[in-house]
Structures are given as structure tokens and as C-alpha cells.
Amino acid sequence: MIDVLVIGGGNAALCAALMAREAGASVLLLEAAPREWRGGNSQHTRNLRCMHDAPQDVLIEAYPEEEYWQDLLKVTGGQTDERLARLAIRASSTCRDWMRGHGVHFQPPLSGALHVARTNAFFMGGGKALVNAYFRSAEALGVQVRYNVPVDAIEMDGDRFKAARIGSERIEARSCVLAAGGFESNREWLREAWGQNADGDWPADNFLIRGTRFNMGVLLKFMIEAGADAIGDPSQSHCVAIDARAPLYDGGICTRVDCVSLGVMLNRNAERFYDEGEDFWPKRYAIWGRLVAQQPGQIGYSIIDAKAVGRFMPPVFPGMRANTLAELARQLGLDEATFVRTIEDYNAACRVGTFDHTVLDDCHTEGIAPAKTHWARPIDTAPFFGYALRPGITFTYLGLKVNEHAAVHFGGKPSANLFVAGEMMAGNVLGKGYTAGVGMAIGTAFGRIAGTQAAAAALRRPGHDAFQEKQHATS
């Protein structure tokens, strides 16, 4: 019988598999996707948010634990477990050497308008290179990997894991790590979670899924129905406003449009609906999907002028471009008169001080609602640009409740041999909101913990006492 069964093929699963194998366990990893689509949402990532008290290899200045924690506290509005959050934060300061040991490379610090050279370490080659490196390392260490195996059921004996099932096939193991993502790819479940709004729309029908099509939440649902303790609200997720032309799945990072804070955002009625300059974009980009989802028809329009060009990461696909506001309104299919009036009202309300997109500057509006509190400058310089945006769901926050050992809980009691990591438990730390790079920080920290714990649980049997002692001595 295999020691540790890991279910999933993304960052959390791979971290767990590598740690369990390094601890001496035999490991089998089951990935639902075919080999060419392996790596879940992790293949689309770019960076990891890292705590550090002084400049560290690719990170400039310092990003101490307390600041990281305060950032998380702010975006989650307190809906977070401080103990688990701090555990992930601390682990983010020490994991990069281990990652490098498994073939992950980091880029030199970025400069410019991204604000993240201090807080986030970027993967060379992105998440695809990271998961490829981990798969290579795992296979070199003897982890068995199977593709095209969507696990559909888990067999338990009380709160102990017994076996995983894929149709009629049954795979037993001494312990198991669940790392099969959230339920963001399951459109029916999203529809149910978001429900119907007052206009009779089903908002989730207009969502695009930014990542993998394989995170259907089958095991999340199965475990909750089997009595595992759940955490989080099914309608909470990381949801970004992305290019409305994106494909239904796997549009990834190239569908991002990052100019919202430099202009205004309008809805289908050509009206503004939220403060575009509330905070730095990396701290705010993940609220805009939800905001657009609450607008009629679940569509928004980001409008900028020539002054904004060059101040944000240019979108891969060009937006609409026009020499007058009226022409832009026509191109976007918005009511021309309302569009022009909205922009003119906004322009008249701008109180321009010293524009600086790298700080929370003093350019703001007065006398309009909603206000724009920073980076408010009139949209008055041709050419004008507009991007239609739709809610792009990144990952859901409903998850399984864990303790600091990543154990799945049943009625408040931790399982001795079933663990969970990544999106399947991110809701313990992220009740709502997001700050860039935290998904990979949670997955890396808890994937590594889950793998270590699963190995210990599997090897805690006659003939393996020495291992157990070693684990205790080093934990």
C-alpha cells in the first residue's frame, strides 16, 4: 500500500508530495487533468507574497510580519484566522530556498508601476515553469504521478482516511492530502452560490473562469457532505474584472486590464459606481470582479485617456480607441449623452494636486458620488481608450476547516491521517478580499505542512519509530 496519496496537481499538491517524499514516504499523486493541462490554477500564477525583515535576494527593502498581517486583516475585514494567517506569513519568509532546491527560479525585482518589488517574489517563467519544475523534481525523487484521474469519492472509516475512488477503481493509502482546488470551474455551483438578483439575472452566468476547468469542487462537496467541518461563504471568492473577450476557461493573466485606478469605471448605463482610487491596485484589483458582478448585465467599462498610457502594465489585447468621448461611447455601445455627461461631471469634480501613482496622492474629486479619492485627473486628452470588463473568477473561498497541522476536522476533531492544502482550505485565512501573492503563500505553507504531517501519519507504524522520533525532534 502507498504511504501518502496526494489528490491534485497544483502548487499545494506538489509541495505536499515533495515534502512527504523527502520525509521518506512513498507518494502517489493523482491529477484530474491530462498531462498537458496539469498544474491547476498554479500554472497561471506569477508571484508569491513574502515576509522579510531586510532586503532578501529578489526582494527590496523590508516587508515585516506585522505589515503583512495588517494588509491581510484589512482586505479580509477581519474574516481570517490570525494563528493560521501568521503561520503562512512566517513560512513565506523561509520557503524560497526550498523552492529553489526543487528547480524554481525567481526574477530580479521589478520596478515601475507595479508596487510589488518589495512584497512579491516573481517566478521566472511564471507558474507554468514552477509546476513543471516541481513535477520534474517529484518524479526524480520517485513520486508516482498519474494524469486523467478525477477522484470522485473518498472512503472514510469514521474520521480516518481509507481510500480514494475514481469510478470503480479504489486506491488505498495510509494517509492522504486533499489539494484539489476550489469549485470555481463548476458553473452550476457558482450559479447556486450567487443566486438570482433583483433584476432576475443569474450573475454567475456571466462569469468567466480565469484558470483551470478542472477545479469542479467534487471532493470539496463530497467531504462537506461526509461531515467534514467547512469554513467560508460559497459566494466569496477572488474575482477580478477581466477583459470581456476572454475565453470561458484558462484566459490566465493576459486577460488582466490594470488601468482602473488611472481612469473611471462605468456600468452599462454609463454611470460610475465605485471609488476607482481607493487604494493601490494590487490591494484593490480583486474587489472589482465582485463590483462588476453587482452591476446590470455584469459588465463594466474602464475608461482612460492618453495621460494614463505607459503608467500601467499594458493589456495584451488593445481596447477600443477613439479621438472623442462620444466616439468612444459609440464604439463601446454605451449611451453617448450619458457617457459624455458622466465623464464631464467627473472631470469638473477633479481636484488635481501632485499626481503620483506610486503613492496615495492628493488628486481627488469633490462633490460627486462616488468620490475618487486618489489619482483623480480629468479624462480630457485624446486618444481615449475603453475596455469592456466581466467578472473573472480566480478561486472560491469555501473550504475545509483546518488546524496548524492542516488536518481535516470532523465535528471539531482533527483527522489523524487526512490533510488538506491550498484553495481547498484557503478560506481559513481568506474569509473575503485578497492581496496579491497570498494564494501561493497559503498553498506553499499548508502544502508543505500537509505533506510533512501526512508522511508522519503514514510512517507512524511498527518499524518506523525512528522516523517518528526524528519528526518530533525537528518539529
- For ligand FAD, the binding residues (CB under 6 A) are 7-13, 30-33, 39-42, 44-48, 150-151, 179-181, 210-212, 214-216, 218-219, 252-253, 394-395, 422-423, 437-440, 443
Supply the minimum distance, in Å, between the C-beta of residue 252 and ligand FAD: 5
Closer CB to ligand FAD, 274 or 395, in the complex: 395
Q: CB under 8 Å to 473, separation ≥6 — which residues? A: none
Supply the minimum distance, in Å, between the C-beta of residue 34 and ligand FAD: 9
Supply the minimum distance, in Å, between the C-beta of residue 426 and ligand FAD: 6
DSSP state of 101: H
Task: Give the span between the Cα atoms of 288 and 286, in whole angstroms.
Answer: 6
Closer CB to ligand FAD, 44 or 272, in the complex: 44
Closer CB to ligand FAD, 17 or 363, in the complex: 17
Residues 218, 182 contacting (CB under 8 angstroms): no
Closer CB to ligand FAD, 13 or 379, in the complex: 13
Residue that has been written with the C-alpha cell 469638473 in this structure? 348
Supply the minimum distance, in Å, between the C-beta of residue 368 and ligand FAD: 34
Closer CB to ligand FAD, 211 or 277, in the complex: 211
Supply the minimum distance, in Å, between the C-beta of residue 44 and ligand FAD: 4
Supply the minimum distance, in Å, between the C-beta of residue 212 and ligand FAD: 5
**Which whole-number Å values give the CA distances from 126 to 18, 107, 129, 157, 243, in the listed order?**
20, 9, 6, 40, 20
Joined grid coordinates for residue 169: 477503481
Closer CB to ligand FAD, 287 or 303, in the complex: 287
- In DSSP notation, 12-52 reads HHHHHHHHHHHTT--EEEE-SS-GGG-SGGGGG--EEE--B
Task: Give the span between the Cα atoms of 125 and 119, in whole angstroms.
Answer: 19
Half-sphere exposure of 37 (CA within 13 A, CB side): 14
Closer CB to ligand FAD, 60 or 253, in the complex: 253
Residues 86, 65 contacting (CB under 8 angstroms): yes
Supply the minimum distance, in Å, between the C-beta of residue 200 and ligand FAD: 29
Closer CB to ligand FAD, 179 or 363, in the complex: 179
Supply the minimum distance, in Å, between the C-beta of residue 216 and ligand FAD: 6
In terms of Cβ atoms closer than 10 Å to its own Cβ (0-12, 13-18, 19+), residue 92 is: buried
Angle at 423 between CA 420 and CA 424, to 5 degrees: 40
Closer CB to ligand FAD, 27 or 376, in the complex: 27
Half-sphere exposure of 48 (CA within 13 A, CB side): 34
Closer CB to ligand FAD, 438 or 459, in the complex: 438
SS3 312: coil
Supply the minimum distance, in Å, between the C-beta of residue 63 and ligand FAD: 15
Supply the minimum distance, in Å, between the C-beta of residue 393 and ligand FAD: 8
In terms of Cβ atoms closer than 10 Å to its own Cβ (0-12, 13-18, 19+), residue 24 is: middle
Q: Identify the helix (H) or strand (E) that includes residue 400.
A: strand 399-400
**Which whole-number Å values give the CA distances from 217 to 30, 393, 425, in the listed order?**
15, 14, 12
